[in-house]
């Protein structure tokens, strides 16, 4: 050691008998507990509350994505990686995805011309129905402005009896896209409810 680095006789260190303002993060912790830079309870964290830069955020997101893909690949297994389907397998898959063999087959409803929209079901008619319903969803009561903000689109016009050829005004009502999706199930219930609602509206208008 050089003479410059040696302390003189009787020198008192600056940190002698001084206590830290915050507890040491490694105090009483095992090495296994300190893996992953985990702080002890009540430890001073210098970066707490500070926002990360865009570059730092991007690097973290890339790292997490890589870790996630690795985990997924481990769980799924890499047995099928790079494997090509044979010609027989391709034909089977094509046959399975078409017609009666598909589990979503509903007896060819899409080919029925009655399931296509009538030519009278145009923008003018839709606007008229939405205006009649005060630009509000007839199920949840959301306004068209709120619908545009929430879903990014105007109110949909629904066929009450689910017949796309029946475009009379008594068979149409305005719904948001969420409610329009909901009413596709249990059709008898919704047709009954909407018809009763329309009758009430017509009666009030007559008075």
The answer, as to whether pTM is greater than 0.85, is: no
What are 172's strand-pairing partners? Answer: 159
Q: What are the residues facing 174 on neighbouring strands?
A: 157
The mean per-residue pLDDT over the stretch 40-63 comes to 65
Contacts of 40 (CB under 8 A, 6+ apart): 23, 24, 25, 26, 27, 28, 29
Using only the alpha carbons of the chain, give its radius of gyration: 34
List all residues 6 or more positions away from 14 whose beta carbon is below 8 Å from its beta carbon. none
Element (H, E) at 185: none
Asked whether 49 and 41 are in contact (CB, 8 A), the reply is no
Residue, of 152 and 68, whose pLDDT is higher:
152
User: Residue 121 and residue 169: Cα distance in Å, rounded?
Assistant: 10
pLDDT of 35: 47
26-30, 74-78, 124-128: which has the highest mean pLDDT? 124-128
> Average per-residue pLDDT in the chain?
75
Alpha carbon distance 89, 27 (integer Å): 62
The Cα–Cα gap between 39 and 49 comes to 15
pLDDT at residue 16 in the model = 77
């Amino acid at each position: 050691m050089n003479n410059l680095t040696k302390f003189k006789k009787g020198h008192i260190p600056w940190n002698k008998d001084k206590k830290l303002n915050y507890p040491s993060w490694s105090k009483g912790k095992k090495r296994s507990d300190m893996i992953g830079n985990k702080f002890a309870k009540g430890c001073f964290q210098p970066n707490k509350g500070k926002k990360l830069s865009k570059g730092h955020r991007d690097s973290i997101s890339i790292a997490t994505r890589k870790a996630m893909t690795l985990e997924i690949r481990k769980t799924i297994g890499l047995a099928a990686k790079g494997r090509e389907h044979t010609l027989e397998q391709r034909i089977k898959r094509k046959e399975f995805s078409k017609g009666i063999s598909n589990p979503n087959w509903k007896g060819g409803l899409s080919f029925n011309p009655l399931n296509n929209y009538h030519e009278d079901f145009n923008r003018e008619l839709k606007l008229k129905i939405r205006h009649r319903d005060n630009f509000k969803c007839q199920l949840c009561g959301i306004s068209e402005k709120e619908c545009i903000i929430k879903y990014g689109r105007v109110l949909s016009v629904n066929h009450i009896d689910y017949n796309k050829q029946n475009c009379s005004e008594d068979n149409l009502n305005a719904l948001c896209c969420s409610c329009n999706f909901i009413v596709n199930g249990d059709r008898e219930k919704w047709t009954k409810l909407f018809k009763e609602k329309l009758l009430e509206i017509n009666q009030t208008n007559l008075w």
